[in-house]
Amino acid sequence: MTENDKIKTVTLVNKAQFKFSRYFDEEKLNEKLLRIKTLYNANQIPIGQKFADALEEEVIRKSIHGTAGIEGNPLTEDEVGDLLDETDSKDLLDDAEQQIINLQLAYGILKEHGLNVKNLILREPLIFKFHKLITLRLKNEGNIPGKYRRSGVEVGDKEHGGVYKPPKIAKDIEFLMNAIVKWINSDELMDINPIYRAAITHFHIGKIHPFGDGNGRTARIIEALLLTSAYKYAPEMLSNYYYRNLDEYFIVFSKTIKDKEQDLTPFIDFMMNGMIWSLENIHEKLMIWVRKLALKNNYSDLWNDGDLSQRLYDLLTSILSLDDEKFQFSAKSIYKNAPFESLYRKVNVRAVGRDLSKLEAMKLIVKAESGLYKIYLGD
């Protein structure tokens, strides 16, 4: 296939032309693709269901915070987490909160549709469903949830590569979205690596910009959906990478959309950097879990051999069970705070100090730069 065969040109109502491209420098991207495969394979270790659930919950929280933050949502990651954890009525929310709840619902659909589906077929009703959930109850007069826009919009700004004007005629938008769905499901796109297929879809939905609002959030969740057949956790983490590299995300989209050769390499390359970053983050979390499991076994051996008292064993395992592997503590904080204070109910704080000194001598805990103690997880 020649390079021209990788670019499809369609004529719109007003005689303007729109180009679909799957032209990119595969040779240039091969090294990163290999890195992604290597990292993903390294992450294929059996983990407990409790940890798997906790990891998935963290990934979704970061993704929701990231994809909303790209659109200017002011809530912090902690505030997003608190909102997602609420079980009471979520009526009368402001727009920032409603946006988070909408994304929570949309990610539930992502999980449902992406589970164990190889080479997932993208359907237009599913795109509508995502968009409807993402923009439901948000105050934007130019947007109808689950419906294509019927007026012109502008994308971008001078600081991020200039302004782009997507097709504005309703018939053109409907035609292009129908065309992209058929194209994404065609053999020529189904036969390429899921990473390339997902990035190409993300880019073209952004290029068409079919909705009055929520285009970025919809494009990113569809990208994640198309990746879930081949990768776990990393697809959802991508939005967090885009958020952390927001200026580059906007600039590379603008640069790619204006490329006269229709070369998608810059955008796909940026997305692959995000996949590598996501997989490295997941790998780090998995290795910490493995270390904690090994430490727990070591504590059990030391207890069985009589080198650890019951209280010291309970203290170490309680600290280890905390979700935050960076948790730091002092004798005073252990003495006064759950879940540790019950261990020292009948003694004074000096007993905690003696226990910590003994654990430090055994190299089971170490002092951090802050002067507080932390579990020694190994080098």
- Measure the CA–CA gap between 168 and 186, rounded to whole angstroms: 26
pLDDT tens series, the chain, 379 aa: 345 689 999 999 988 999 999 999 999 999 999 999 999 999 999 888 888 888 999 999 999 999 999 999 999 999 999 999 885 655 668 999 999 999 999 999 888 876 556 678 999 999 999 999 999 999 988 899 999 999 999 998 888 989 999 999 999 999 999 999 999 999 999 999 999 999 999 999 999 999 999 999 999 999 999 998 889 889 989 999 999 999 999 999 999 999 999 999 999 999 999 999 999 999 999 998 899 899 999 999 999 999 999 999 999 999 988 867 778 999 998 988 888 888 998 888 899 999 999 999 999 999 998 999 999 987 6
Superfamily of domain 4-285, CATH level 4: Fido-like domain (1.10.3290.10)
- Measure the CA–CA gap between 119 and 76, rounded to whole angstroms: 35
- CATH 1.10.10 boundaries in the chain: 308-375
- CATH 1.10.3290.10 boundaries in the chain: 4-285
- Measure the CA–CA gap between 355 and 334, rounded to whole angstroms: 11
CATH code for the part of the protein at 308-375: 1.10.10
- Measure the CA–CA gap between 330 and 351, rounded to whole angstroms: 12
CB 166, CB 208: distance < 8 Å: yes
Burial grade of 138 (CB within 10 A; 0-12, 13-18, 19 or more): middle
